[in-house]
Amino acid sequence: MLPPAEKRFLWINKITIISLFVLILAGGVVRSTGSGMGCPDWPKCFDRLVPPTDVSELPAGYEEKYIAGRKAKNERFAATLERFGNKELADRIRSDERILQHEEFNAAKTWTEYINRLVGAVTGLLILGCAVFSFTFFKTKKSIFIWSVINVVAVGYQAWLGSIVVSTNLMPWIITVHMLLALFIVGISIYTYFKARSLRDKDLMINHTSKGIKRLAAFSLLLIVVQIAVGTGVREEIDLISSSGDTPHRSVWLEQLGEVFNIHRILALISSVVIVLLFFVVRSRFASNTYQSKFTNLLLLVLLLQLGTALILSYFDVPPFAQTAHLVLASLLFGTQYYLMLLLGTATWKKI
């Protein structure tokens, strides 16, 4: 029987993990619909807590005001990069005229971005709640408390980075960092949830795992992270192609992609082979009713769905819904693989 305080932590942590994946879904919808600049300022939207629904509700002279504010924030960001020795990147931000381009008001895009921000705000509060409730583990498992607090700091940094994404008019490399940091936050939440469960749930404690399986799982996870990073690069190229006006039709987008797309496909093949290998190795060592086998089954299912969205993107002209599904499934693949890796490491943790 779990103590009430631990039960509350597990409950809010589980809700937080779900909320994080919903947030990634919302972010995917924002990006696939081109709604990233639906709100030109941050954290408010057109300087309002509730955004406008019609152009007549826009504040007077908002274009000049937000462009001036964006320029000032970018200068501060560039100066920070320069202080850390990255003058080339700072100069690129200062000289990129696209950053200050104004986007016409579109109510649908505005509300799509606004809903994304609302989900983000709720998720941030949930992560703060996890940190508060994690204090119950301060004496029994201090790492749960420490990582929960680190996650609050990471979310604060992610929020600031979100404001930079807006001020730089969706500068590609910042979006990539934004995505990878989101995975880091997901990973911490999964880690603290697992550590809290493993204190009491003895079904998680399997003692016949081997270093070979753990290393294979870790390698598979690394491949997934690299694949997501490269995939974000592919998406950045697609965004540049789609906004250039030279190749407006989706059917030719993939043909215009550079070497990063080939790398993405090669990594997808390698990652798929490793996951299938991991599936058979785990199923040969663990009974079908163990958590290890169940999460391996889930991992294979998510992989098959992910490959399905890849085929749809390749052969059906990169439809927006498939772009979003591809991103969400990649995140679920990361989360499932990471939890499986933690499960396969329980034997080591039991000795600690």
Blockwise average pLDDT, block size 10, the chain, 352 residues: 87 96 91 80 83 85 75 78 76 71 82 92 95 93 95 91 69 77 95 91 64 89 93 78 62 74 91 95 88 93 96 85 92 96 66 34
Residues 27 and 153 in one domain: yes
What is the separation, in whole angstroms, between the first and last Cα of the chain?
Answer: 23
Print the domain residue range for 157: 1-199
Q: Provide the number of structural domains found in the chain.
A: 2
Q: What is the DSSP string of 75-118?
A: HHHHHHHHHTT-HHHHHHHHH-GGGG------HHHHHHHHHHHH
Which residues make Cβ contacts (< 8 Å) with residue 56, sequence separation at least 6? none
Phi, psi angles (nearest 5°) of residue 170:
65, 45
Residue where one domain finishes, among candidates 178, 199, 220: 199
Please name every residue paired with 45 in a beta bridge, in sequence order, or none if there are none.
48
pLDDT score recorded for residue 262? 87
Residues 173 and 225 in one domain: no
pTM: 0.86
Buried b (16+ CB within 10 A) or exposed e, 240-270: ebbeeeeeeebeebbeeeeeebebbeebbee
pLDDT score recorded for residue 338? 96
Please name every residue paired with 48 in a beta bridge, in sequence order, or none if there are none.
45
pLDDT score recorded for residue 208? 57
pLDDT score recorded for residue 302? 97
pLDDT tens digit sequence for 16-65? 999 999 999 998 898 888 787 788 777 788 888 889 888 888 887 777 77
Pick the closest to residue 302 from 275, 321, 329 (CA basis).
Answer: 329
Residues 136 and 216 in one domain: no
How many Å apart are CA 202 and CA 206, to the nearest integer?
Answer: 8
Residues 99 and 114 in one domain: yes
Pick the closest to residue 203 from 338, 339, 343 (CA basis).
Answer: 343
Pick the closest to residue 35 from 121, 81, 104, 130 (CA basis).
Answer: 104
pLDDT score recorded for residue 351? 36
pLDDT score recorded for residue 84? 73
Residues 81 and 26 in one domain: yes
pLDDT score recorded for residue 348? 42
Residues 164 and 86 in one domain: yes
pLDDT tens digit sequence for 91-123? 777 776 666 666 778 889 999 989 999 999 999
Which residues make Cβ contacts (< 8 Å) with residue 168, sequence separation at least 6? 70, 74, 77, 93, 96, 99, 174
Buried b (16+ CB within 10 A) or exposed e, 94-119: eeeeebeeeeebbeebbbbbbbbbeb
Residues 222 and 257 in one domain: yes
Residues 177 and 89 in one domain: yes
Scan for tokens 């991991």, then name that residue: 278
pLDDT score recorded for residue 352? 31
Residues 189 and 237 in one domain: no
Residue where one domain finishes, among candidates 146, 171, 199: 199
How many Å apart are CA 210 and CA 215, to the nearest integer?
Answer: 9
